[in-house]
Amino acid sequence: TQLLEQSPQFLSIQEGENLTVYCNSSSVFSSLQWYRQEPGEGPVLLVTVVTGGEVKKLKRLTFQFGDARKDSSLHITAAQPGDTGLYLCAGTITGGGNKLTFGTGTQLKVEL
């Protein structure tokens, strides 16, 4: 059973478009992180959210943690080809120690 479901699984858009990736769970997370991974490389941390309802912005990326800390979203404005990659949410379950549970992943391709 996958604890963290991401949607969509694949997304192919044109440069300049906006998009939102969702990360949902039935479990409560003490913190949730978003990563971006390029082929053949390890994931790179984009942001960590810890408070229910928290919103963080990183340039054209906006991250939101759900009020109940069970879900999160990543919104990209005016996507660029450089945004192409595998986006992964990951969280530490409340009471689950330090283990990170990764989401199912969203493969984003931004074309010119």
Partner 1 sequence: GAVVSQHPSRVICKSGTSVKIECRSLDFQATTMFWYRQFPKQSLMLMATSNEGSKATYEQGVEKDKFLINHASLTLSTLTVTSAHPEDSSFYICSARDVLAGSSAEQFFGPGTRLTVL
**Residues near partner 1, by CB under 8 A:** 30-31, 33, 35, 40-45, 48, 50, 88, 90, 98-105, 107
Give ∠ CA 42-47-51 in degrees, rounded to 5: 135
Q: Tell the smallest beta-carbon distance from residue 16 to partner 1 (Å).
A: 26
Whole-number minimum distance, CB 70 to partner 1, in Å?
18
Residue 27 structure tokens: 């479990």
Closest distance of CB 43 from partner 1, Å = 5
In eight-state DSSP terms, residue 94 is T
Q: Are β-strands 106-111 and 29-37 bridged in parallel, bridged antiparallel, or unpaired? A: unpaired
Q: Which is nearer to partner 1, 15 or 41 (CB)?
A: 41
Nearest-5° Cα angle at 91, 65 to 66: 15
Of the two residues 31 and 64, which places its CB atom closer to partner 1 in the complex?
31
The answer to whether 111 touches 81, Cβ cutoff 8 Å, is yes
Nearer to partner 1, 22 or 102 (CB): 102
Least Å from the CB of residue 110 to partner 1: 18
